[in-house]
Structure 1
Amino acid sequence: MCEGQKPLKVAVLGCGSVGSQVVRLLTEQAGDLAARVGTRVELAGVAVRRIDAPREVDVPEGLLTTDAAGLVSRDDVDLVIEVIGGIEPARSLILSALEHGASVVTANKALLAEDGPTLFEAAEKAGRDLYYEAAVAGAIPILRPLRESLAGDKVTRVLGIVNGTTNFILDKMDSSGAGFAEALEEAQELGYAEADPTADVEGFDAAAKAAILASLAFHSRVTAADVHREGISEVTAADVQSAREMNSVVKLLAIAELRPGPDGDAVSVRVHPAMIPRSHPLASVREAYNAVFVESEAAGQLMFYGPGAGGAPTASAVLGDLVTVARNHLAGTRGPGESAYADRAVLPMGETRTRYHVAIDVDDRAGVLASVAQAFAEHDVSIQTVRQEGRGDDAQLVVVSHEATDAQLSATVEHLRGMDIVREVTSVMRVEGDTE
């Protein structure tokens, strides 16, 4: 630590489950942080909605304020940590902090996925840092490896479980045979799911994270609006059982990959439930844990695993960014900013190549299988496997396709639904990995 070095002043926006843990770590680990940074790191203030609200930690007297705008514009504030979430006032506060000369550490995935370029441009103009490791997968260090460790490599695919709530629900459905509603209720009772779980179970949270991952991995601007999104609320116990019969599990996956496009490589980004073989590393990710699987040309396959949410794990990622940003501040430098030089196009979902698992209730009579196979062939979709189970007057066919465009596969399913021999298409789910 540099003797006589002026301490760095840190403002914290928000004192909820993450913000309170950030305040705790800043206080309890002050000595270690000073040694790692090179000078003392001191709290300048903590912005909250209500001064008298109950909190998980005691904030030092005199530091709480409801004037967030005034706090971030103070001349003595060197770094701002934003953990209030949402779009506004977070965006305005971050822009103000940068304009007034403070670097920013944020955990705000929704804002970065919606309007990241505005924030990056403001940081570039101000000559300040904008770091956001905590925005994706909690304590798991995934953004820094993509942004720095793999900067000399070409990442081709990022495949991840990035939402703990949905992973807990699907894991319970797999291990206990429970339906979606029953598993969701247990997740809410244990605190893994919010009272209104829409952002998690309908894939909005994962889609924001997928956009951030794709932007970093492929050096292109990708927003949440570019991400094809499907949630897990329509996943049934029968879907999970069918996956089990294929020695597979159902996971909500965030998938970002390079695919051939009309003008070179293009980016495909999607979030949806999918069946993956139990032999895949992601299949063993249980309960509310997260994991991200990265594939690159030189490094090959890498997997990052750990707690993807929670106050203390997320605060760990925030403090890691804070140390880096503080060191940069003392050195008069800044870390890497936005890398969007590749400017790759984002493929529409219909052009993305994938595979389908389709369960079909059909009349149990001669020629049905051939007619179903013909429907697939008419849309240029080949069949990998087919399984038939008789049920008296009707039967169920379970078909797994080879890879085709999503548009071809969707058209095939619509064709099947219009056939006289098909009583119902009971399940349609995408398949990732080799299930043979």
Structure 2
Amino acid sequence: MRLALLGCGTVGSEVVRLLHTQSADLAARIGAPLEIVGIAVRRIGRDRGELPVDPAVFTTDPLDLVKRDDVDVVIECVGGIEPARGWLVEALRAGKSVVTANKALLAEDGGTLHDAAAEGGGDLYYEAAVAGAIPLLRPLRESLHGDRITRVTGIVNGTTNFILSAMDATGAGFAEALEEATDLGYAEADPTADVEGFDAAAKAAILASLAFHTRVGAADVHREGITEVTAADVISAKAMGCTIKLLCIAARGVAADGRETVGVRVHPAMIPLTHPLASVGDAFNAVFVEAEAAGQLMFYGRGAGGAPTASAVLGDVVAVSRNRLAGVRAASESAYADLPVRPMGEALTRYHISLDVTDRPGVLAAVAGVFARHDVSIATVRQGSGGGGVAGRGEDADLVIVTHVAPDAALAATVRALRGLDTVRSVASVLRVEGGA
């Protein structure tokens, strides 16, 4: 089987090394040897260490490489939308199989890739696009095809999980935890994609598409990052027996008119320490799947890094190579359900709201009145330090309110109204509460 590799950075280089060190085993598993016939890079002369390949295979023309007749499988490790989309569409329409780790492209325009694969008759595999080496996408696409998945909840970004875990363990603020993550190599020099939730949103779109047989794009995902999470929020979560995680949540639901829908969101949330995801620390990923027949399943492991991602890439290479040798194609995209994506305002959730209020009689009544006018039920009221009532600071006081489940739109409207009360100096923080806390 002849392979073309697009990109030879952290992941691509590791793919080359694993192909070399495991060549005999891979050939035995597939029934034919694997050979890299071309590697497309930006600069041929760049130092990539000692790679076990002939330097003659390097090229700076990826489009020409994917068009070559002697290429069976294209492995894409470049990332981004363009020009990667054009290269992969060209390869797929020509009947070549494609293995990609490009979550951004799949979330932005996965439908175009699937259509091109159907047109050319090749396979499109992308296990490495979500959660690194964790075998997750193929179970959703194949193992659980006989079941009905109702909800997928996951920690799918290692950088943000490391930051929130550090804040929980040390009491550090966001900026200090981010600096530590950067020093240790968990965060990029520009961490925006991670800390603002873009990376997790792309992965959430891919997970929802597979779980609910519906094309879901990144634009369909409600997204919030972790930059507003404070050390005080972490302390408040601990007082509730919770921890804070950046969650991706994809769930079936029913609209007001009775139609089945799917909702997909990414945001920080408090979850109880008893929840399986609460103990997922450091830069690890985990995804919690709920299905009608199988019940609750959890997938856990390293979600990023050259070696784990390359492991997932090679798993896909073995699968598509076997298919080509057998003259068969894997099951095509399953998007038959075509469920409408419901807006975030219809999501049922709970809020944890921290208020700075004036310390005078009638404050609690005024605040409670706002919740009542928006049909939001209050579950608990306590002072910020974890006791009951209102904690006074001279003329100011801290008030923490946790709601019962309500539509997100009603909760958001409640928060807006609270900001308009003359007794509320500020809404210090708002976090959702998930997992039955």
Scaled to the shorter chain, the TM-score interval is over 0.9
Structure 2: 5+ residue stretches without partners: 384-390
Match for residue 192 of structure 2 among 195, 198, 201: 198
* 1:174 maps to amino acid: D
Matched, 1:116 2:110: yes
CA positional deviation for 1:46? 0.9
2:418 is matched with 416
SS of the residue aligned with 1:273?
A: strand
Aligned pairs for 1:26-425 (under 5 A) are 26-61=19-54, 62-261=56-255, 262-388=257-383, 389-425=391-427
Matched, 1:23 2:25: no
SS of the residue aligned with 2:357?
A: strand
Please say if residues 17 and 56 of structure 1, whose CA atoms lie closer than 8 Å, have aligned partners that are also in contact: no
Distance 2:373 2:301 in 1: 45
* 1:163 maps to amino acid: N
CA positional deviation for 1:198? 0.4
Aligned residues: 428
1:3 is matched with none
SS of the residue aligned with 2:352?
A: strand
CA positional deviation for 1:193? 0.4
Distance 1:20 1:357 in 2: 45
Q: Give CA deviations for 1:394-424 in whole Å, capped at 9, x if unaligned.
A: 2211101011111100110011111111111
SS of the residue aligned with 1:152?
A: coil
Distance 1:187 1:312 in 2: 19
My pick for the range that moved more, 55-64 or 129-138, is 55-64
Distance 1:94 1:85 in 2: 11
Q: Give CA deviations for 1:347-374 in whole Å, capped at 9, x if unaligned.
A: 1111111110001111222222122111
My pick for the range that moved more, 20-29 or 255-264, is 255-264
SS of the residue aligned with 2:418?
A: helix
CA positional deviation for 1:119? 0.4
SS of the residue aligned with 1:240?
A: helix
CA positional deviation for 1:129? 0.2
RMSD: 0.9
Q: Give CA deviations for 1:45-81 in whole Å, capped at 9, x if unaligned.
A: 1111111111144141211111111111110111010
Q: Give CA deviations for 1:154-186 in whole Å, capped at 9, x if unaligned.
A: 000000000000000111111001111111111
Alignment TM-score, normalising by the size of structure 1? 0.97
Please say if residues 75 and 100 of structure 1, whose CA atoms lie closer than 8 Å, have aligned partners that are also in contact: no
1:5 is matched with none
Distance 1:211 1:263 in 2: 23
Tell me which stretches of 4 or more aligned residues in structure 1 moved more than 6 Å: none
SS of the residue aligned with 1:188?
A: helix
CA positional deviation for 1:227? 0.3
CA positional deviation for 1:265? 1.4
Distance 1:96 1:198 in 2: 31
CA positional deviation for 1:390? 2.5
* 2:406 maps to amino acid: A
SS of the residue aligned with 1:420?
A: coil
Alignment TM-score, normalising by the size of structure 2? 0.97
SS of the residue aligned with 1:306?
A: strand
Please say if residues 384 and 400 of structure 1, whose CA atoms lie closer than 8 Å, have aligned partners that are also in contact: yes
Please say if residues 21 and 57 of structure 1, whose CA atoms lie closer than 8 Å, have aligned partners that are also in contact: no
Please say if residues 105 and 130 of structure 1, whose CA atoms lie closer than 8 Å, have aligned partners that are also in contact: yes
Match for residue 11 of structure 1 among 4, 7, 10: 4
SS of the residue aligned with 1:244?
A: helix
2:387 is matched with none
1:4 is matched with none
Distance 1:360 1:186 in 2: 30
Structure 1: 5+ residue stretches without partners: 1-7
Distance 2:365 2:247 in 1: 33
SS of the residue aligned with 1:323?
A: helix
Please say if residues 257 and 269 of structure 1, whose CA atoms lie closer than 8 Å, have aligned partners that are also in contact: yes
My pick for the range that moved more, 50-59 or 20-29, is 50-59
* 1:49 maps to amino acid: R
